[in-house]
């Protein structure tokens, strides 16, 4: 990688940190309350290495096969790998061995398969339930009105540790609508939190285009891709 590209990545990352700090100040929050996840789908390993050298430790992948290659080639780095895409049930076995955390738990069949595979590895897998906050038929996720029933069905899966919720709101440039969806997510999170224990702490929402609004509305994990990595390769 050229020094020029490494410098661009450094500037991108430092700019992001400044914007996160400013958004936290606006919201009356501390910057350390917000984790930055580098959404590295379609990005090369050299870029991940540079961002790691700058202090980023949390990276998220959307495709199991792509992630497997990167994780193998970057095994010398102490990266916390998360899966943030839609997970096929037949990829559960591999995903349990690769990732510490799955952000996109959205159905009972997947939960049961993850439980089986995690138990076989004597591993506790951290999971977030994906909420289909916009009731979009083309998107994955549990509808808000079905959440309590889903929680009841997975509550005895002992190898899964439920740590929070995740959402991908409908695409729109209307910031008031984006804020509305994030506010709804926060209300859902706060409503169920008292019943789910002290480890239920994460609200994964916000990407390169809307993370400041997400922070203002309570996000604890923001998923940032092209804003720090630049275009996908």
Q: Which residues are CB-neighbours of 28 under 8 A, at least 6 positions away?
A: none
Instruction: Return the SS3 of 158.
Output: coil
Q: What is the pLDDT of residue 231?
A: 84
CA-angle at 67, arms to 40 and 142, nearest 5°: 80
Contact at 8 Å (CB) between 6 and 196? no
Nearest in space to 91 (alpha carbons), one of 28, 99, 40: 99
Give the tens place of pLDDT for each residue, 3-26: 888 999 999 999 999 999 999 999
What is the 8-class DSSP label of residue 164? E
58-61/35-39 β-pairing: parallel
What is the 8-class DSSP label of residue 100? S
> For residue 2, what pLDDT band results from cuts at 50, 70 and 90?
confident
pLDDT higher than 90, residue 164: yes
pLDDT higher than 80, residue 41: yes
Q: What is the pLDDT of residue 218?
A: 98
CA distances (Å), origin 60, targets 82, 109, 198: 5, 23, 24
Q: What is the pLDDT of residue 4?
A: 87
* Domain 3-229, second-level architecture: Alpha-Beta Barrel (3.20)
Q: What is the pLDDT of residue 233?
A: 67
Q: What is the pLDDT of residue 81?
A: 98
Give the tens place of pLDDT for each residue, 49-91: 999 999 999 999 999 999 999 999 999 999 999 999 999 999 9
Give the tens place of pLDDT for each residue, 136-152: 999 999 999 999 999 99
Q: Which residues are CB-neighbours of 126 under 8 A, at least 6 positions away?
A: 100, 101, 102, 160, 161, 163
Structure tokens given for 233: 């390769």
DSSP string, 28-41: T--GGGSEEEEE-T
- The CA distance from 211 to 98, in Å, is 27
Structure tokens given for 184: 């709804």
Does the pTM exceed 0.85? yes
Contact at 8 Å (CB) between 224 and 184? no
- The CA distance from 140 to 157, in Å, is 21
pLDDT higher than 80, residue 219: yes
Section 159-178 average pLDDT: 96
Bridge partner list, 224: 38
């Amino acid at each position: 990688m050229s020094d020029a590209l490494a410098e661009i990545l450094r500037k991108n990352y430092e700019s992001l940190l400044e914007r996160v700090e400013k958004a936290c100040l606006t919201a009356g929050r501390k910057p350390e309350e917000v984790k930055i996840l580098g959404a590295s789908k379609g990005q090369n390993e050299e870029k991940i290495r540079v961002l790691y050298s700058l202090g980023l430790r949390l990276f998220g992948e959307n495709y199991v096969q792509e992630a497997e290659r990167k994780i193998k080639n970057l095994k010398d780095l102490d990266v916390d790998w998360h899966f943030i895409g839609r997970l096929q049930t037949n990829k559960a076995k591999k995903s349990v061995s690769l990732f510490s955390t799955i952000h996109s738990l959205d159905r009972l069949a997947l939960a049961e398969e993850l439980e089986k595979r995690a138990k076989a590895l004597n591993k506790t897998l951290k999971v977030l339930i994906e909420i289909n906050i916009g009731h979009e038929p083309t998107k994955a996720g549990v509808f808000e009105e079905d959440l309590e029933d889903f929680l009841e069905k997975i509550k005895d899966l002992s190898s899964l540790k439920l740590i929070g919720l995740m959402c991908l709101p409908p695409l729109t440039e209307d910031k008031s609508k984006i804020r509305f969806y994030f506010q709804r997510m926060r209300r859902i999170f706060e409503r169920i939190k008292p019943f789910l224990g002290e480890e239920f702490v994460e609200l994964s929402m916000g990407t390169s285009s809307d993370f400041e609004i997400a922070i203002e509305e309570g996000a604890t994990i923001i998923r940032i891709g092209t804003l720090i990595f630049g275009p996908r390769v």
